[in-house]
Amino acid sequence: MEELPAYEPSGQGEHLYLWLEKRGRDTREVVRALSKALEVPEGDIGVAGMKDRHAVTRQLLSVPARAEAKLAGFALEGVQVLWTRRHGNKLRTGHLKGNRFQLLVRGVKDVDAAREAFSRLAARGVPNYFGEQRFGRQGDNADLGKALLLGQRLPRKPDRFERKLYLSAFQSRLFNRALAARLSAGTFDTALLGDVLRKEETGGLFVCEAPEVDAPRAAAFEVSPAGPMFGPEMTPSAHGVAEAEAALLVEEGVTLSDFARGRGETEGARRPYRVRLAQPVFAPEGEDLRLSFELPRGAYATEVLAELLKEG
């Protein structure tokens, strides 16, 4: 997996961008090791996106340029600095266009079915589920986030990173449940009355009040329905869609006002129910498949595989 940066570093400035390749390490491990080697606080190290350990990945990080001389002392097994370049601002979460994936899938039983599924994903979009890694090794991140929102005491006080992770995981679980319901109904790519629709080109949001007008735009991938990342600043839906989203909160035993306890970490947003599969390449090699594709930031390649392996 390789990040697609939102911009290239300029070559000048107070921050040093590092293009890293890592194997068997997650991004947080790398940040900790850099912090120790460069003698800078972890908070001074910029990351556009978190990458897990179960892949060969390339990504940008930024560190204060004043620590450049100490970079030669940085060593972490499985991690290599491929190049460095200065820039004027710290790299921040979300400063990337997306990610490019190259995967080898072994032992596919039905290559034709997998090809059909891959073509369908390219045409209709990839269900934009949050992947399992979002919910932690024990799968309890969302439960911990819910407890934080309800003012309950956790087994131990989370640090700032953990708090944000837990709260986001709870929002993500609710989104996944909303998406699952739309997939079950066959409407994850359909404009419904009351839907919050997201414009593909600009990211702008508006509420669907005329499905007969917006349905062709959804079919053309100009707009997509956007599900709830609950919080006080989330754009509200309307009509039956709002009723379905409210029912999710009731089932979970929380209210929209509970999300105010998360402060800036649960402000709320809309996330599209589907994302575009860009630059798709499907290359069979006997019973194996070589796949290449791009996804926007925040989307998970594991969901592409899940859809293919249902069929193949």
In DSSP terms, which residues pair with 126 in a beta bridge? Answer: 275
Could you give the residue numbers annotated as active site?
Answer: 52
Whether 171 and 247 share a structural domain: yes
Q: Are 197 and 228 in contact (CB under 8 A)?
A: no
Contacts of 11 (CB under 8 A, 6+ apart): 85, 86, 87
Q: Are both 62 and 165 inside the same structural domain?
A: no
Q: Is 243 found in the same domain as 138?
A: yes
Q: Look at the chain and report how many structural domains it folds into.
A: 3
Mean per-residue pLDDT for 69-78?
Answer: 95
- Per-residue pLDDT tens over the stretch 164-219: 999 999 999 999 999 999 999 999 999 999 999 999 999 999 999 999 999 999 99
Residue 82, domain extent: 2-94
| Residues 77, 288: Cα–Cα separation, whole Å | 30
Q: What is the mean pLDDT of residues 125-145?
A: 91
Average confidence score pLDDT of the chain: 94
Q: CA-based diameter of the chain, in Å? A: 62
Q: Which of the two residues, 268 and 286, has the higher pLDDT score?
A: 268
pLDDT for residue 69: 95
* Statement to judge: residues 81 and 169 lie in one domain: no
226-273 residue pLDDT tens = 999 999 999 999 999 999 999 999 999 999 999 999 988 999 999 999
pLDDT in tens, 142-162: 999 999 999 999 989 999 889
Q: Give the Cα separation of 264 and 262 in Å (integer).
A: 6
| Nearest of 129, 136, 57 to residue 99 by alpha carbon | 57
- The pLDDT value recorded for residue 311 is 56
Q: Which two tokens stand for residue 260?
A: 């105010």
User: Is 291 within 8 Å of 118 (Cβ atoms)?
Assistant: yes
d(CA 46, CA 41): 11
State whether 106 and 238 are in the same domain: no
Global pTM value: 0.83
Contact criterion met (CB below 8 Å) for 272 and 128:
yes
- For residue 159, how many other CB atoms are within 10 A of its CB? 9
Query: Which residues have C-beta within 8 Å of that of residue 25, sequence separation ≥ 6?
Result: 53, 76, 78, 79
Residues 61 and 73 in one domain: yes
Residues 243 and 302 in one domain: no
Asked whether 169 and 140 are in contact (CB, 8 A), the reply is: no
pLDDT at 51: 82
Clarify whether residues 156 and 117 are in a common domain.
no
**Chain length of the chain:** 312
168 shares its domain with 179:
yes
Q: Same domain, yes or no, for 293 and 219?
A: no
Strand-pair category, 274-275 with 288-296:
unpaired
Where residue 89 sits, what CATH number does that domain have? Answer: 3.30.2350.20
- Residues 132, 255, single domain; the answer is yes
The rounded radius of gyration (Å) of the Cα atoms in the chain is 21
If asked whether residues 76 and 137 sit together in one domain, one would say no
